Structure 1
Amino acid sequence: MDQISFDDLLMEDTIEEKKPKNESPLHTKVSSILKVGENSALEICEQLIEEGYLSKERFSTNKPKAYGQVCIILEDLVKQGKLVFVKELEKTDRVYEMRG
């Protein structure tokens, strides 16, 4: 019978942390939209709605209710170092840029 040492357990945790997270289909689609040059969170959201990835529901301001969900994915990409936040447009949109 093989015994596992404390060091072996620590090594397994380190290996698991380095594995990339499984991305949702929405996360993957947002990344593909960014790769073709779209950089506006609102435009990405509109494209996802048009392609059936997100609900068509809107606030009274006409902003899609899924806008926040898209921004969360974009901010996650910023944290991963794949994207850079460029600017906020009068609280109506956010602009990002792919890291080179």
Structure 2
Amino acid sequence: MTRLLLAAPLLLAACVEGMSTQTGAPRMDQAGTCFAFVTPEEGGTFTLTTGIGDGSKTPLGVQKTGLSAKEVDAAFAKERAIMDINPECLAISAKPRAETPAS
């Protein structure tokens, strides 16, 4: 678990670099932006990374790894529903598996 928390900032930094820079679009480097995104792993499994931006370029996130397509879709849907009611989420940046390029 510790390794995941240490690796998360590096993975998040890569995602911040590739994210949309549209004016007004929520970004996970903005304080109060709840984020969730799915990344493919080797072997056909997926990783779900979630968290709340704290204003830093690479906010800490929680990763769930080794998930099947069905598991990651269910976990993403649950996290997304929580974001809708979480008062800490001032903005939401979410990218489901369907929007994730295949590896």
- The TM-score bracket by the shorter chain reads under 0.3
Q: Work out which of the two has the higher radius of gyration on C-alpha atoms and give 1 or 2.
A: 1
Q: Which has the higher strand share?
A: 2
Tell me the TM-score normalised to structure 1 length. 0.23
Structure showing the higher helix proportion among its residues: 1
TM-score of the pair, normalised by structure 2: 0.23
